Every structure is written in C-alpha cells, then in structure tokens.
Amino acid sequence: MRPSIALAILTLAVIHAGSAQVVPPDLAVIRTGDSEVFLRMGRTGDTAYIEIIKRILDEVKLSQNQRVAARMALARLGDEQAFKDITSPRFPVHDIINRLTYVGGKRSLAVFRKLLEDTVAPKSDGDMRFLPVAIFAARALNEIIDYPPLSITEIAMVTFGEGAEPAAKKWIEWIDRQDQTSDQYLARLRIGDEEALLDMGRRENGQDDYRATIHAAIAEGHLTAKGLVYAHMALARLGDRGARSVSA
C-alpha cells in the first residue's frame, strides 16, 4: 500500500531538508483551489520541490488553473518537459507570454525571440485593430528586464501599439548578446559600447568571470562617468561586495 500523499510529501521534505529549507505545502490549502502555493514553490528556486510538485500532480485532484500553475513552477525549477507543456503553440500567445514572464531564464528568452519575429499585425476586423505578437512580447520584456535596450520614446510607442519592427529588432539583438563570452563583452567595451556592462550584470551563470571582466574594465581607466555607474550597478547585481552605491 502506498503511503498517504500527506505523509509522502512530508517525507520528501524531510529527505531534502539537509540542503535547503524545504517547507511541505499545505494540502488543505491546495484543496481549496489555491494556485499561488505552486508559484511560491517555484520562486524558491529549490529543485527539491520538483518531486513534491510532481507527486501532488499525480495524486491530488487539482483544478485546471492549479495544474497550469504547478507546471509553471516545475518549468521555473528547470523541468524541461513542463516548460514545453506550458509554452506549447496550442495555447493563446497572451497565456504563453504571461508564463514566460514568471519562468524567466534563457529558455524563456529563446521563446520571446521567436515571438518578436512576428511583427505583422493580423488583418483588422471593422473598427477592431489587431496588434502584432511582437508588440506584446516587447511590452512584457520592457516590464521584466532591467535597463531595456529601448529608448523612452520607443517604450512609449510600444505601449501604444506602435513601432513593432524597430522594437523587435533591438530586443532580438539584445537577446542574441546574452550568450557572449567575457572576451566579447570586453571587446565591446573597448569600442565604447558601455551597455556591455549592464548585459554582464544580468548574467545568471559564470558570474565570477563577469565580475573579473568588469573589474578589469574599471582598472583600464577608459570608462566614462556613465560607464563607471554601469560597472558598479552590474557588480552589485552580481553580488560583488566591493561595488559602490552609485546613481546614473
């Protein structure tokens, strides 16, 4: 006989407690239809919750909204199949974009990049005007990415449903830059592209390399006053304790 779901979840939490603070979810709350409990587990970043969420999906009767939230949490925690499930083309674009903003990470940027390529608006229906998918993708990126590559004017245009092609082009270029190496970032700095500092500050992996690259750029003494601000903003975001508190 299999143990009760409550006991199984508690056991999983205890097993994983040695590496992190894994708090077993309250099944009573889940059974009220609460979806937020899954999203909170995803936000912890603790992969120990993957097994717990999957067990709940298998054994607890959930609403459709809860099942989507559970898969969103799994995707955020790194489950590839869950990510494919929630970003399937069978879902409306608006739903996919909302899920991507929650999940984040490189996989989400790859999907955003594809959405940004759709810059042609569907044919209007009478007085109803339709916007291209790229507008909705750009709007979402403007909200979730610090220091977006668009100007204030371009952000305003996107907000009002204009300028899809130039906004999409800039966002695609920005996404493509996120896979650059430290040497490529440094090369950009040496030709005066100080936005490279902010790009390094956004990186999730290899942070030691990027901190070292930024310190090297500061030591070279060629950064402008604005570049120094960007450098210390990036260092602070990368967890460098020596970063100064500065403002642009």
Whether 45 has a pLDDT exceeding 90, the answer reads no
| pTM: predicted TM-score of the whole model, two decimal places | 0.69
pLDDT(118) > 50: yes
Q: Is the pLDDT confidence value at 117 over 80?
A: yes
- Burial class for 121, CB neighbours closer than 10 Å (0-12, 13-18, 19+): middle
State residue 181's pLDDT score: 79
Helices (H), the chain: 5-16, 27-30, 36-43, 48-59, 64-76, 80-86, 93-103, 105-116, 133-144, 152-159, 164-177, 182-190, 195-201, 207-220, 225-237
Asked whether 43 and 76 are in contact (CB, 8 A), the reply is yes
3-state secondary structure 57-68: HHHCCCCHHHHH
Q: What is the mean pLDDT of residues 223-240?
A: 89
Which two three-digit tokens encode residue 52? 């717990």
Q: Please determine, for residue 1, whether its predicted confidence score (pLDDT) is greater than 60.
A: no
- In the chain, domain spans: 5-85, 90-177, 182-237
Task: Tell whether the model's pLDDT for residue 10 goes beyond 60.
Answer: no
Q: How many helices (H) and strands (E) does the chain have?
A: 15, 0
Rg (CA), the chain: 22
Flag whether pLDDT at 49 surpasses 50.
yes
- Of the listed ranges 52-56, 95-99, 181-185, the least confidently predicted one is 181-185
Distance CA 235, CA 241 (A): 8
The length of the chain is 248
Per-residue confidence band for 70, with pLDDT thresholds at 50, 70 and 90: very high
> Which pLDDT belongs to residue 138?
94
